Amino acid sequence: MEWPKSLDEYEKLVIRMNNPRVVIDNADCATATLVKVDSARKDGIFLEAVQVLTDLDLSIRKAYISSDGRWFMDVFHVTDRHGQKLTDESVISYIERSISSAGDETDPESCGLEALTNLELVGTDRPGLLSEVIAVLTDLRCSVVEAKLWTHKGRIAALISIKDEDSGTTVEDSDKIRRIEARLRNVVRGATTALSSSSTEAAGGTRADRRLHQMMFADRDYELRGGGQPSVSVQNWAERGYSIVNVQCSDRPKLLFDVVCTLTDMKYVVFHGTIDTIGDRAYQEFYIRHSDGSPISSEAERQRVIQCLQAAIDRRASEGLRLELCVADPGRRLLAEATRTFRENGLSVTRAEMSTKGEIPVNVFYVTDAGGHPADRKTIEDVIKRIGAGSLKACEDRPLWTGQKRPGSDRDEPSGLLYLGNLVKRNLYNLGLIRSCS
């Protein structure tokens, strides 16, 4: 790590002492790799650890969070997306390095990140909207480098990283920026847009996911009707000054990240917690307080936390058929042609991730018919034929577990809420006082 020149030796020592200590354990549990994180308490460190694991597409089967004064310990039971323990030394080394340096300030230019113009777009969703947005950018000679789009309860949020086709760099012409914003506002009803030129990060990764959550939260999508209703409850434990949040819903990738980043952005601090998966169900319990140390203080606030967590869980729920557009040489107008084909065949994109990076860029779209129902098989076949079977394929979304039966699927599901006594008992496993992987 390169230190900023402004730091003296004492300040460097303090940072080293307070950085998280990470231990990767492949011996203690037969079915998962244990990632143990010990650290002095720092704002957002729990979320940083979850973010690192989520960036690697790992499944967090279980987790235990325990805080004692100024110190905390997190233990994550993780597998790869095939349900196997981690064996790749480069992945293990990356986890140790990334979590240990979580929270360090890094110079973006030193990371070799490409300078891009980043567009944020929020507005009212409708069938064919993505096609129109891409068409506007293509017409204005802007190349889409990366993009993420979510739809939820009739609203849309998108992060799009673009560069000027002619210069190959950021869009620096102020007149062109104004034209982009004006035309996109005409396309997206009730749209708000934000354009910035930066090299900090493109639209990929969980940091973009967190920004999408923030954008939809600011748009107050949690107040709108519709969408799923995951089971979320909040109650106060007055004797200890905690508010207890319980979440029960179908398990899926990035579920823990979505819940934790929402609590963090709402200015709550997680002091204790347990995460468990049984079969295809996830059970999460968090003991939280405000950043000032107080619990939830009113019924209105309690209901707001429930609504916001339900929305955060529901936003990423994959509605529709997954289509993957994979081409070694995508060409500058491929996205425009593909999304136009979706629109002309009555398909609506409910979620999308697009990238032109890598040897074979992959663009993923979840599509339904215009009414939000499953797309007709004949329509999908026509779309694939028109774009090319070698370029576009339909597939089921990747399962969280594959192959053998998921561990724990024979156990009975817990009834009611989990309580702190159960949490403390489970954390004894992590301290080495009880050996169990159940």
Greatest Cα pair distance in the chain:
68
Residue 157 near residue 215, CB atoms below 8 Å: yes
Q: Is residue 112 part of a domain?
A: no
Least confident segment among 46-60, 137-151, 263-277, 315-329: 315-329
Rounded to 10 deg, the angle between the 334-344 and 129-139 helix axes is: 150
Interior/surface letters 57-90, b for 16+ CB within 10 angstroms, e for the rest: ebbbbbbbbbbeeeebbbbbbbbbeebeebeeee
- At residue 84, does pLDDT exceed 90? yes
187 and 38, same structural domain? no
Cα pseudo-dihedral 83, 87, 92, 94, rounded to 10: -90
Number of domains present in the structure of the chain? 2
| Cα–Cα dist 278/21, whole Å | 29
pLDDT band at 195 (very low <50, low <70, confident <90, very high): low
- H-helix or E-strand spanning residue 311: helix 299-315
415 and 312, same structural domain? yes
Q: What is the DSSP letter of 336?
A: H
143 and 93, same structural domain? no
The pTM of the full predicted model, rounded to 2 decimals, is 0.83
Section 392-409 average pLDDT: 54
Q: Is residue 282 part of a domain?
A: yes
Q: Is residue 291 part of a domain?
A: yes
417 and 285, same structural domain? yes
| Cα–Cα dist 334/391, whole Å | 10
Section 379-400 average pLDDT: 82
Residue 41 near residue 70, CB atoms below 8 Å: yes
Looking at mean pLDDT, say which of 135-139, 166-170, 186-190 comes out highest. 135-139
Which CATH number characterizes residue 155's domain? Answer: 3.30.70.260
Q: How many CA atoms lie within 13 A of 359 on its CB side?
A: 0
412 and 386, same structural domain? no
| Cα–Cα dist 409/321, whole Å | 27
179 and 36, same structural domain? no
pLDDT of residue 177: 87
Residue with tokens 């969703």: 125
pLDDT of residue 199: 44
Cα separations in angstroms, 395 against 254, 323, 367, 386: 20, 6, 11, 17
Section 374-395 average pLDDT: 92
pLDDT band at 341 (very low <50, low <70, confident <90, very high): very high
Q: Which residue has the higher pLDDT, 197 or 134?
A: 134
135 and 251, same structural domain? no
Q: Is residue 153 part of a domain?
A: yes
Q: Is residue 143 part of a domain?
A: yes
pLDDT of residue 331: 55
Q: Which residue has the higher pLDDT, 304 or 228?
A: 304
175 and 153, same structural domain? yes
50 and 72, same structural domain? yes
Residue 117 near residue 169, CB atoms below 8 Å: no
| Cα–Cα dist 125/159, whole Å | 15
- Structural domain that includes position 165: 117-205+319-395
Residue with tokens 């129109």: 132
Least confident segment among 86-95, 237-246, 279-288, 407-416: 407-416
Residue 139 — φ and ψ, nearest 5°?
-65, -30
pLDDT band at 242 (very low <50, low <70, confident <90, very high): very high
210-224: per-residue pLDDT in tens?
999 999 999 999 999
pLDDT of residue 411: 42
406-419: per-residue pLDDT in tens?
444 444 444 434 44
Least confident segment among 8-17, 180-189, 218-227, 374-383: 8-17
139 and 199, same structural domain? yes
Structure tokens at 243: 């508010």
pLDDT of residue 332: 57
Q: Which residue has the higher pLDDT, 89 or 115?
A: 89
Instruction: Report the share of the chain in percent with pLDDT over 90.
Output: 55
pLDDT of residue 425: 45
Q: Helix, strand, coil: what percent of the chain each, to 5?
A: 30, 30, 40
Neighbouring CB atoms inside 10 A of 180's CB total: 21
349-378: per-residue pLDDT in tens?
999 999 877 666 779 999 999 988 999 999
Strands 155-164 and 116-124: antiparallel
Q: What is the DSSP string of 57-78?
A: T-EEEEEEEEEETTEEEEEEEE
pLDDT of residue 437: 44
Average pLDDT over the chain, rounded to whole? Answer: 82
Q: Is residue 150 part of a domain?
A: yes
Strand ranges for 238-280 from DSSP E: 242-250, 268-278
- At residue 403, does pLDDT exceed 80? no
| Cα–Cα dist 180/171, whole Å | 10
235 and 186, same structural domain? no
Q: Is residue 233 part of a domain?
A: yes
Section 166-171 average pLDDT: 84
295 and 177, same structural domain? no
